[in-house]
A = this chain, B = another copy of it.
Amino acid sequence: VRFSFDPQAETPPVGHAEMTPTSPLAPFAAKLHRLVGLNDAALADIDAWPHRTTRVSAGRYLVREGTRVVECCILVDGYAYCQKTAGDGGRQIVSFHLPGDILDLQHLLLDYADHSVQTMTDAVIAWVPVKVMREAALTHRAICEAFWRDSLVDASIFRESVLNVGRRDARARVAHLLCEFVTRRAATRVDGRISFALPMTQEQIADATGLTPVHVNRTLQSLGADGLITRDRRQIVIDNWDRLRAAADFNPAYLHLGQPA
């Protein structure tokens, strides 16, 4: 099943989270439900979490490296990423996040942030006290397991990132980023092709792949020239998924989708 993997066909089933549908935490609860399957008590617990919701513009810091964290942030809408800064000022984006993702789960157990979290686009963020989430994890076995599993999947994605920047050339790195994005985010499929709007600038792609913006630009052009993708501004169409996946050396197993306990 690995080689015939199709990002569109295998969209994981969205559970019917029985909580207030209009709650900003709904996409988050749905994600947890996908991870382990939550019972009604757990869903009710999440629904009752005290939280505040804020609207944040693109490029804002949600967490700063080195600071102490007392609130976890959950991405309700928009895109965000985690980054680390090198001593010479170089920036490395270590992960990007979609609506429903919890952005700093590690702060439930680690007091100090070892990386920063920043919005990639205008976004809606729900803030929940760390204490509340810790308590929920201790009370509900399923929530604990969902959190833990989510941490483990994150770690797996990091491992793949190390491989990506450590052992693949620019072409594969950029292609891999595109493949991961469309696989994690359900993309719309038009006329047999996969089409989506990439929310990041080429500079951000560069910081995620360990390249320079100039070279990212050339690499994207090269992918286009070879008929793998078509671009119109940040709108991207994948013309040939199989060839892009091959160029990216992309195997979605590391995302650990489709095995919800």
Contacts and interface: CB of A to CB of B under 8 A. Distances in A.
Interface residues on A, range: 35 or more
A84 B159 contact: yes
A94 B159 contact: yes
Given A92-B162, A162-B158, A148 B149 contact: no
Interface in A123-160: 138, 141, 144-145, 147-149, 151-156, 158-160
Query: What DSSP secondary structure best describes chain A's contact surface?
Result: helix
Contact of A144 (B111, B144, B151, B249): B144
Contacts of A94: 159, 162-163
A261 B210 CA distance: 34
Nearest to A113: B253
A111 B149 CA distance: 11
Contacts of A259: 110-112
A105 B159 CA distance: 14
Interface stretch (A46-54, A165-173, A221-229): A165-173
A83 to B, nearest CB: 9
Contact of A153 (B90, B92, B110, B152): B110
Interface in A70-110: 82, 84, 86-88, 90-92, 94, 105-106, 109-110
Given A86-B249, A167-B210, A156 B114 contact: yes
A145 B166 CA distance: 32
A185 interface: no
Contact of A86 (B92, B138, B167, B261): B167
Most buried by B among A88, A111, A167, A261: A167
Interface string A178-221: 00000000000000000000000000000001100000000000
Contact of A114 (B91, B147, B159, B209): B159
B253 A114 contact: yes
A64 interface: no
A15 interface: no
A243 interface: no
Given A112-B253, A141-B138, A151 B148 contact: yes
**A-B complex: 8 closest residue pairs judged by Cβ atoms:** A166-B210, A158-B158, A87-B249, A90-B167, A155-B155, A165-B166, A92-B163, A84-B163
18 contacts: A82-B159, A84-B159, A86-B167, A86-B168, A90-B168, A92-B162, A92-B163, A94-B163, A109-B145, A144-B148, A147-B148, A148-B151, A155-B158, A158-B161, A158-B162, A162-B165, A165-B166, A166-B209
